[in-house]
Structure 1
């Protein structure tokens, strides 16, 4: 099972068991996230942080919500079986990521079920 961990600072073992570290590929920025998925395909599980620090110009970098929006609106990938967790300490952004992905996955699965009837 391919797993992806998006976080600018935390390590996998800070969020999950130290025994799970080898199960994850780690990306530290929005751009690494997008590049990883374009190159390797959609992982089965993604763990999202939201606040991803500053970019090379000292400005706020695109965040985990931007990564989730890229998946939904730009990636063209079928997210209907995506499993995810939001480990962000930012409660508002965490809920926005969860809401966006859950609503979109539910929409896809509802439409898939209607087409199969």
Structure 2
């Protein structure tokens, strides 16, 4: 492989720059509209360690950017109706700007449309 055709990218530094940019943009928006307080919500089903690690990484990134974080935990036994209710509640909450359901829970196929 030719060294001129490849480039090593520092993912950690790139992610830090992106988080810093997001944090600055949020501060700019808040200076114009102090009530602007974005929130990220994640619905976790069960207590798989890999899912918990994922959620904790998202929490840390959100907090570094000045984004509030909501973590809802459903039991493995949660039904589609229970998950749908939580999603509807988050969708109707004007303080939640984004929500996520990691695709590791038993209901992941339903969320992905499978």
TM-score (norm: length of structure 2): 0.35
In our comparison, the structure showing a higher alpha carbon Rg is 2
TM-score (norm: length of structure 1): 0.35
